[in-house]
Amino acid sequence: MTSQYAHVIAVGGIVRRAGSILLVRQRYGPAQGTYLFPGGLVEPGETLDQAVLREIAEETGIRAIVRGIVGVRTRCDGPRSDTYVMFLLDWSAGEPSPDGQEIDEARFFTLEELRDPDRPITALSRYVALRVLAGSTCLQSFASDFDYAAAGRDPATWRLFC
């Protein structure tokens, strides 16, 4: 039996640098003209953390280091549903440069800018970014001490965050 429902998995990257958070301005869709976390859909053959690093690099040119998962948003709109996994990352190299296709601006926002209600930032991005900067999130980090070999798993393709 074929399902009439569609489900996608997307990732968002919360990149920190010196007390600020990287946001991008969307060029299309319902979020057009607003700022949000860089990210996108997970492609076949990649893990969630690989996807978020790829999306950040493609959209902004930034290189970052994954620290862990800070949030999951799930949504169902009738026959469509999606899961959005938000990763905390630390900036490692590069200056924000928008891809010019999906994104027309990419820059780091300070705490004061994030708090400004007149700035066009999505409610979810504003809420999570402020929590990250306040240190009030619970980080699910990559379990580097898990015995992947004994479990018959390759940590490059089978990832555990806890």
Is 105 known to be catalytic?
Answer: yes
Q: What are phi and psi of 5, to 5 degrees?
A: -100, 150
User: Among the options 46, 58, 105, 113, which is catalytic?
Assistant: 105
Q: Which are the catalytic amino acids?
A: 105
